[in-house]
Structure 1
Amino acid sequence: MKIQTAFLLMAVAVVCLAVHGLCLTNTKISRCRCVKVSSQFIHPIRFKHIDIFPQGPYCRKVEIVITLKNEMKVCVNPKTLWVKRVINILTERNR
């Protein structure tokens, strides 16, 4: 194989890796988890688990995912008043 062909193949590989975000990262966390968020009130009695994901390099917003007792996952708007109150209550309980 000629040296020019080898360099061309290496250049194509580098460009492909750069375009696809280096393809070496975990694809599960390479974007925001919540495409759509809900502001509708969900009573805490229906909660099974709450996950809070801070902003980071892959998603520039705080995401809150509530897992309900029926295993359904709901992304909620962290700026709504009821979500802020629930987070404050949970934070106070953990102290």
Structure 2
Amino acid sequence: MMGKAAAALLALLLILAEGTKGEAMPRSAVELRCQCVGTRSRFIHPKFIQNVNLTPSGPHCKNVEVIATLRDGREVCLEPTAPWVKLIIKAILDK
């Protein structure tokens, strides 16, 4: 009986983890660990992007994190090695 409960809990956790791909973690975790659980490299048209936050690697996270805030309020973690994201990073750094 205990094995079925553990299997059900594991299945639930896996389903919840799948739904977080490419999304930023809540702001309460900003200084403690990486904000991005996963990243997305598919192109997002600039007209849908309201703001872009670039967080360099450091003691809190070994990864460079690029988080775009979309016009509808969602936050999306972008893949920093994607060519179109590199252009956005370059534009930010050139300002």
TM above 0.5, one fold? yes
Q: Which aligned runs of 4 or more in structure 1 are off by greater than 4 angstroms?
A: none
From 43, 58, 62, the counterpart of 1:60: 62
Gaps of at least 5 residues in structure 2 are 1-27
3-state SS, counterpart of residue 49 of structure 1: strand
CA distance in 1, matches of 2:61, 2:91: 26
Written as runs of structure 1 = structure 2, the 5 A alignment for 1:6-85 is 28=29, 29-85=31-87
3-state SS, counterpart of residue 41 of structure 1: coil
- Alpha carbon RMSD of aligned pairs, Å? 1.3
Identity level (%): 36
Q: Which has the larger radius of gyration?
A: 1
3-state SS, counterpart of residue 74 of structure 1: strand
TM-score (norm 1): 0.65
CA distance in 1, matches of 2:32, 2:91: 31
How many residues in Structure 1 have an aligned counterpart in Structure 2? Answer: 67
CA distance in 1, matches of 2:41, 2:91: 18
CA distance in 2, matches of 1:91, 1:30: 25
Residue 71 of structure 1 deviates from its aligned partner by 0.3
TM-score (norm 2): 0.65
3-state SS, counterpart of residue 86 of structure 2: helix
Residue 89 of structure 1 deviates from its aligned partner by 2.8
